[in-house]
A and B are shown apart, each in its own frame.
Chain A
Amino acid sequence: DIQMTQSPSSLSASVGDRVTITCRASQSISSYLNWYQQKPGKAPKLLIYAASSLQSGVPSRFSGSGSGTDFTLTISSLQPEDFATYYCQQSYSTITFGQGTRLEIK
């Protein structure tokens, strides 16, 4: 199985901050990496697919980069509605999710 490791597990930040979340795969997954946002009591929402493609309707302050084993999700200027848990997911070999990164208000 391909393991996905996110860092940090939790993060405190303020509105307007630039935030980066990292996801590392246990082996190369090319660009088969997607990012999701989940708010409490809600289903996850797709933000980024294929490592760097922005899903339709997602604000441009979200961006993704990386290939191979190392990937990042960046939020350029945090908004109040961005405080949530973020998951990476690989689809190179079946599907695996990372353990999540909880983004909290400082």
Chain B
Amino acid sequence: QITLKESGPTLVKPTQTLTLTCTFSGFSLSTSGVGVGWIRQPPGKALEWLALIYWDDDKRYSPSLKSRLTITKDTSKNQVVLTMTNMDPVDTATYYCAHVTTDFLDYWGQGTLVTVSS
């Protein structure tokens, strides 16, 4: 049974760096073809893909946010960490992590709401 759960701060101040952790079970990020991605959704708006890391440490980023994002994995802890620098109120959103098989996101975490406000 594959499960994922996001954790991190619920409130960050503008200009701060956000660090989110995705802790998963039921799969290994050392298995060929497997990845973990991050997606966000501002309140009432559409999904936006942020970043993705594969089992071989291949990393992909949203072109529009690439300069602000870093994704890393700790295979021994079954965790993937996303950092986003220079947070702004427009970054207020629910942040999801998801298991990636080949090219689709087949298992999702419950999401965590991050509010950016001073």
Contacts and interface: CB of A to CB of B under 8 A. Distances in A.
A100 B106 contact: no
B46 interface: yes
Contacts of B15: none
A36 B96 CA distance: 14
B32 interface: no
A32 B104 CA distance: 9
A32 B105 CA distance: 12
Interface residues of B, number: 22
B25 interface: no
A96 B49 contact: yes
Secondary structure call for the B interface: strand
A87 to B, nearest CB: 6
Interface stretch (B72-80, B82-90, B108-116): B108-116
Contacts, number: 58
A97 B104 contact: no
Interface in A21-57: 32, 34, 36, 38, 43-46, 49-50, 55
Contact of A46 (B61, B64, B104): B104
A94 B103 contact: no
Contacts of A91: 103-104
B62 interface: yes
23 contacts: A34-B103, A43-B96, A43-B98, A43-B109, A44-B108, A45-B108, A46-B105, A46-B106, A49-B103, A50-B103, A55-B106, A89-B105, A91-B103, A94-B52, A94-B60, A94-B63, A96-B49, A97-B39, A97-B47, A97-B48, A99-B46, A100-B46, A100-B47
